[in-house]
Amino acid sequence: MKDDIIYLVLLASCIGFGQIYRKFIDPEHKKLIGTGFGLLVVLSVSGFHMLHMLFCYLVSALLIIYASRKICHLVCFGFMFGYLFFFRSLSLLGYDSPPGHTNMIQMILTLKLVGLAFEVNNAYTKAKTIDESKKGSAENEKQAQPAAPAALNDADRALLKLDMLDIFHYSFNYVGILTGPYITFKTYRDAIYLPFSGKADCVGATLEKMKVIPLYAGLFLLVSYIWPLGYATSEEFYEDRSFFYRLMYVWPTFFIFRMRIYTGILLSECVCTMAGVGAYPKLCASKPGHGPSKEDYNAVVSPSSSLEYDFETVRNIDVINTERCWTFREAMKYWNMCVQYWMAMYVYKRFPSKKYRTLATLAVSAIWHGVYAGYYFCICGAPFYLPIEDLYVKLFIKDATGQKRTVLNVLCWISKFFAFSYLGIAFLLLTVDKIWYYYSSVYYIGYILWIVLYGVGVLIANQRKAKAKKEAKLQQQASKQD
């Protein structure tokens, strides 16, 4: 609770500071003020452990600027994730462990610096493709040429001209420095140089998000008081409680986890909205993490234009859809969306093997979350549940209608939250001994149930295929006789 209180005080300070930050119009002043306050937040949380962040910035900045842009993203990825592992292993080496909030700052810094290296690589690849296209058309103007890629925009040119100071300001700007959401360098740069933050209703957007935060925080406090996580590691829990009670205990513990995450993520979104970061006209069709889908801002930057604005770029969670959607797969899309964008763009789409890219992405996500075994049990367990859900959706729900469809959807919703809760208890218990002790106390029923369900589902699917082939064969014989 002490860490949570510190976290809330810092986030509240960052939200309040946004009212001052937005008033700075000059880009250079805005950079200096935002970075100065960000460094103050890091120092207040981390103390001398701040040296880790400064070292990571220095090495990554040198790699991004001076390493070959063909491989700078890969080298930076290896360095930052390697250092993240070392950073979390300090206690095993006999050194003091960094504070919990320092770990969160290091996590976000890892995404930002590696993401920046990928952005630079993308801009370099784009520029190179344009140059090659121009050379090809010059050599043979009469020969039909493939369509040339779009010209470099301001963000691309800025990425190709980065210096140490640009990277420093991006790394330590106070917006999102604690727990995100992840914002690209392009989004950061737009917030500095474009006038959108002065036109968007930043206060209104912030208040709209803050309306529901007391509800989630209150539910977190209430349910954690009635069903504390610590009770799941006590002797009484395993000796005096029934199998059914122990099994059902995953529901309130995961509910507590969700309410805590909802509160934290929405507060971190409020830091962005109050600062005006991520504000774009609605016609730009912004997406979480990515920013505007339409890249041409020339038509919307004019002072006389009157437009509606949104903060979709920094929307990190969709609580309503997370709770009410029917399937596990769909719920994953609404959770930590800006980080998911990072994982999709820089791991999933870049991974060379299509067969293993999902597993690789989830493994990177687990590594990013921490070194505890619980993160791997939880996050890497998802790829084994998803095929089961997909199979049953295809077999029974896809073609169902009316009341039958509703009943099946509800059953799928219950299964979704049981899967989240059963896997999520490992995320909360963290260590192998506690996780295995809990799962053995409920006889690994979740894993056994999923194995049985998958086997039954495959059997049903094979029977349907055999039946369909048989019917098709009979129809062919009948048509030949006719």
Where does the pLDDT of residue 149 fall: very low under 50, low under 70, confident under 90, or very high at 90 and above?
Answer: low
CA distance 281 to 297: 9
ω into 228 cis (within 30 of 0): no
The catalytic residues are 336, 369
* Rounded (5°) CA angle 70-73-79: 130
Q: Return the DSSP state at 356.
A: T
Nearest Cα residue to 337 out of 413, 281, 261: 261
Which helix H or strand E contains 310, and what residues bound it? Answer: strand 309-310
Q: Tokens representing 66?
A: 């001076």
| Buried-exposed string 320-347: b where 16+ CB fall within 10 A, e elsewhere | eebeebbbbeebbebbbbbbbbbbbbbb
Please give the average per-residue pLDDT across 258-266, as a whole number.
Answer: 92
Q: How far is CA 194 from the centre of its chain?
A: 26
Q: Tokens representing 78?
A: 């290896």
Check pLDDT > 60 for residue 147. no
Please give the average per-residue pLDDT across 349-355, as a whole number.
Answer: 88
CA distance 323 to 321: 5
- 4-17 per-position pLDDT tens digit: 787 888 889 999 99
What is the model's pLDDT at position 78?
95
- 240-255 per-position pLDDT tens digit: 999 999 999 999 999 9
Please give the average per-residue pLDDT across 446-474, as a whole number.
Answer: 90
- Quick check: 141 and 112 in contact, CB under 8 A? no
Domain ranges of the chain: 327-481
DSSP assignments along 401-466, one per residue: -HHHHHHHHHHHHHHHHHHHHHHHHHHHH-SHHHHHHHHHHTTTHHHHHHHHHHHHHHHHHHHHHH
How many other β-carbons are positioned within 10 Å of the β-carbon of residue 187? 28
- 32-72 per-position pLDDT tens digit: 999 999 999 999 988 899 999 999 999 999 999 999 999 99
CA distance 88 to 95: 11
Q: Tokens representing 80?
A: 């930052």
What is the model's pLDDT at position 93?
78
Backbone angles phi, psi at 144, to 5 degrees: -65, 130
Q: Which residues contact 210 (CB under 8 A, 6 or more apart)?
A: 266, 270
Helix, strand and coil percent figures for the chain, each rounded to 5: 75, 0, 25
- 267-297 per-position pLDDT tens digit: 999 999 999 999 999 988 899 999 998 766 6
Provide, rounded to the nearest whole percent, the portion of the chain with pLDDT above 90.
Answer: 63
Q: Tokens representing 306?
A: 């009157």
Beta bridge pairs of residue 281: 309
Q: Tokens representing 142?
A: 């009469």
